[in-house]
Structure 1
Amino acid sequence: MAKSLVVVESPTKARTLRKLLARSYDIAASMGHVRDLPKSQLGVDVERDFAPKYIVIKGKGPIVKSLREAAKKAETVYMATDPDREGEAISWHLREALRPVNPTVRRIEFHEVTKDAVRRALAHPREIDLDLVNAQQARRILDRLFGYQLSPLLWRKVRGGLSAGRVQSVAVRLVVDREREITAFQPQEYWTIEGTFTPDGPDAAFRARLVSRDGTKYGTPLEENVHVLSSEAEAQALTAEIRAPAYRVKEVKPGERQRHPAPPFTTSTLQQEANRKLSFTAARTMRLAQQLYEGVDLGKEGTVGLITYMRTDSVRVAPQAVAEAREYIRRTYGAAYLPESPRHYRSRRNAQDAHEAIRPTAVPRTPDQVKSHLRWDQHRLYELIWKRFVASQMSSAAIDTLTVDVAGGPFLFRAAGARVRFPGFLVLYRETVENGEENGEGWLPDLAAEQAVRLLAVDPAQHFTQPPPRYT
């Protein structure tokens, strides 16, 4: 009986599938796209409904020949390229190249490179989705029309070597507009005043911000209906007045708030967090994620994909993965760290939602268990993805808050404190950008309404409004 042929894009993915599938399948890699528009001409017939003209990419002839020979011997050809429009287009181009020697070409789709996922895909093959293919073709044709028709104009009008593009030209416009905003920005000076108070002595001191005088609120130039301290002379004069009155605690407001875990990663949030936490560029993050997705040799366990497909705008998660995470949390941290019901996150309104969020393919496969099989950078990224996903199913953190108003004469100062009462998901994962309460804002000494406090110091501070930041 003839074997079936499974075609993927990369040799790494091919090696993984060879170890996951039975010997009744041959695995081959196309090394990415095999057909594209010609480089020597526009390759798009704008007079005939923008019909593209495709040719075999230079250097890919031997690969196409090898795939044709393998397809000729195969019972069925399965296209197992990535589950997105680019992967769908690669499958379509391969089908067009291989169909003359084997018309039985099917498409299989899996979002994680694991034995169960691949077997399920093989059990449910489908036809190639021409809507996805056409979406990729439209993008490719627009790229060509922009690049080949606008770039020569830049060469004539600006200088040689410049290029225009469907995305890059718009990005350049955004960068230029922001730079003009920064150049035109006029900073405004303003001052704030803080006081250091104590009920007993220096060891119990706390800092509070000047909020108002006789009901007139102080603020920044960006706020409405506030008085702005716009000069050092005004701030120093006010500082001298502040030293005169006796002060007491006017009000103590205890409170509580919850902090909820972030959803699992999408492509963009993974790139942002990997940059903030690991200092990885977006390109490096995606390269490492591709390696973790396509498969890593884990010794006795064999080669397996460690994460789901990394190009996604969805925060949706498979029920089986949620159940795995909840069981791990219950076993490792206890029932208090497990919400009564699974958490479900909602994707953005315009999300395509074609794939799951980025998550580990098996929660029991912890970062420590796979560390010896990964390079340091692969391990750091896997750890980031694993922790973010597991934390997304944990209990919220409970934060105690305390606001204290201190009054003296016409002046009102306000101090705020916060502390974590129950850490919840914070025991495992913290986002890099933290709110004040998790950033060590600190707690306040025991205070009661009408309690006298002594002013130890008054500190005026100069500030300037800031221009909009440059894009990262």
Structure 2
Amino acid sequence: MKNLVIVESPAKAKTIEKYLGKDFTVMSSVGHIRQIAKKNKDGGRPIETNNKYKITFEVDPSKKKVVSELRKAVKEANDVWLATDEDREGEAIAWHLCEVLKLDPKTTKRIVFHEITKNAIEEAIKNPRKIDMKMVEAQQTRQTLDWLVGFDLSPVVWRKVPGGKSAGRVQSPAVRLLVEREREIEKFGAKSSFKITGEFFVPSSGEILKAELNKKFESEKAATDFLESLKNANFKVANISKTPGTRNPSAPFTTSTLQQEANARLGFSAKSTMAAAQKLYQSGKITYMRTDSVNLSGFAIKSSEEFIKKTFGEKYHKARNFATKSAAAQEAHEAIRPTVIANEKVSTSQDLQKIYTLIRNRTLASQMTPAQIEKTTIKIEISGQENYFEAKGEVVVFDGFLKVYSNGKKDEFLPELTSGDSLNFNEIIAKEVFSRPPARYSEGSLVKKLEDLGIGRPSTYATILDTIQARGYAMKGEGEGDPRDVIQ
């Protein structure tokens, strides 16, 4: 065997072997091959806090067969290439492979790529590097913290919390956020008021104009008295203002924003989103799905430009480079994007295709012109009163990026009117409305909150959300609560 390439997943191994040809054999470690041992060699804790946090590792019992096969292959190979994922976990797996397979980390070839395409793989082979020990140490630091927090806190949870199963460095703050929000909701005292809305008949066109009074009333009596005062009132258009505006596209997806948007638009859990993205990456359809960067490569920007101009026309194209706000972001990575932007359909699986379409459309939108909006406000004065009704409308004058990434919002057209036009009221009603408590977290909004607070990493959010639900610390509901009776 001339060359042995070791990757993390069997699915990825098949795709890469296809690109590299007969001189390369590609095998998989099937994820991590070692774990923190139960005890160190002296029978103490495997992480020695009094000995520079030395960690004792052991081969995962379920990976002994995999390790045996890899050892045999290494002996038969002239060159070994470690092609685990490009993040901290991948770097750590590469180091563990060196340790277990007796490879020298200072000389063993380490290759990385952002996408599984023929060009990317061939370019990686041309530019091998060594294992980045700083990244390995960063991963071990996180692993150590996770272990220490879980090891020391979980027994407390078992003793003090009925039904409590575990605690964790990210898991516990996530549960705390849910608890704090629930307490806010319980303490919230809803206040009621009365909103006045009217439907006005436009004599010149026969259209109906819907508007809302600029003031709410605190009591049913005050609202009823106001309605009585309108019986003989006259209504006319006092002012019409039109304001142009623009709506800009968002940056391409990071791991976190993909989870948030898939939850909001598709109703996907973080776990389902990441499972679909992983399959798309392993089959060479999208770039690496664990990233906190919003950068696009020059190739991606250029290919998007060509596709947009050809498909929609030059007026729809606007090249952009986005800057990542997070100080901890790894800028060398790319945002999540399709490997071939022109590919519209890539899977027969509905879930995979939905996630791919979301990623593709977001990428295209990021390189398209802003949408041009026109906002219209019509002020309707009431004879003999200071209060007034207001009607608001918004229309898209030029769709721009909304051509591919619409928010589903429909145009709100208003009838053609001029200042001074008289209106007849068709119906004016008062309806009791209640102030709303803070909303419960959705999976998407909890991911965003954790990211805003700097808790955890994008790659861990799906696992954490799944864990807190599986262990019964939280449950997913269908809605915010039950409707209440209102006065109208």
Give TM-score, length-normalised by structure 2: 0.85
CA distance in 1, matches of 2:46, 2:97: 19
Q: Secondary structure at the match of 1:414?
A: strand
Q: Distance in 2 between matches of 1:187 and 1:257?
A: 35
Tell whether the 8 Å contact from 1:314 to 1:351 is kept in structure 2 after alignment: no
Report the equivalent of 2:353.
379
Query: Which residue in the other structure is 1:272 paired with?
Result: 260
Q: Percent identity, aligned pairs only?
A: 41
Q: Which of 67, 75, 78 is equivalent to 2:81? A: 78
C-alpha RMSD of the superposition:
1.9
Residue 393 in structure 1 maps to residue 364 in structure 2:
no
Q: Deviations over 1:354-405 (max 9, x none)?
A: 41111000112222xx34xx32221121111111111221122212221111
CA contact (8 A) 1:312 1:354 kept: no
Counterpart for residue 239 of structure 1: 227
In structure 2, what is the equivalent of residue 322 of structure 1? 301
- From 291, 297, 301, the equivalent of 1:312 is 291
2:321 is the alignment partner of 1:344: yes
What is the distance in 1 between the residues matched to 2:151 and 2:126? 44
Secondary structure of the residue aligned to 1:59 is helix
**1:221 aligned residue:** none
Task: Give the deviation of 1:102 after TM superposition.
Answer: 9.6
Task: Report the equivalent of 1:252.
Answer: 240
Aligned length in residues = 435
The one-letter code of the counterpart of 1:366 is E
Following superposition of structure 1 onto structure 2, how do residues 313-462 of structure 1 map, counting pairs within 5 Å?
A: 313-339=292-318, 342-352=319-329, 353-367=331-345, 370-371=346-347, 374-408=348-382, 409-410=384-385, 411-431=387-407, 438-440=409-411, 442-462=412-432
Q: What's the TM-score once normalised by structure 1's chain length? A: 0.88
- Asked if structure 2 preserves the Cα contact closer than 8 Å seen for 1:210 and 1:413, the reply is yes
SS in 1 for 2:185: helix
Counterpart for residue 190 of structure 1:
193
**CA–CA distance in structure 1, aligned partners of residues 32 and 197 of structure 2:** 63
Secondary structure at 2:274's aligned position in 1?
A: helix
Q: Which residues of 2 match residues 35-114 of structure 1 at below 5 A?
A: 35-39=34-38, 42-99=45-102, 104-114=107-117
Which amino acid counterpart does residue 82 of structure 1 have in structure 2?
D
Q: How far apart in 1 are the matches of 2:164 and 2:393?
A: 57
Match in the other structure for 2:435: 465
Paired residue secondary structure (1:60):
helix
How far, CA to CA, are the matches of 1:415 and 1:364 in structure 2? 43
Segments of 5+ residues of structure 1 without an aligned counterpart are: 212-217, 219-227, 296-304
- Residues 111, 308 of structure 1: 8 Å contact kept: yes
Change over 3 Å in CA distance of 1:247–1:333 after alignment to 2: same
2:313 partner amino acid: G
1:152-191 matches, within 5 Å, as: 152-159=155-162, 162-191=165-194
- Corresponding residue for residue 224 of structure 1: none
Please name the residue that 2:3 is paired with. Answer: 4
Matched-pair contact (CA < 8 Å) for 2:157–2:165: yes
SS in 1 for 2:62: coil
Match of 2:135 in 1: 132
CA offset at residue 128 of structure 1? 0.9
Q: Does 1:199 align with 2:207?
A: no
Q: Give the residue type in structure 2 aligned to 1:375.
A: S
Q: CA deviation at 1:104?
A: 4.1
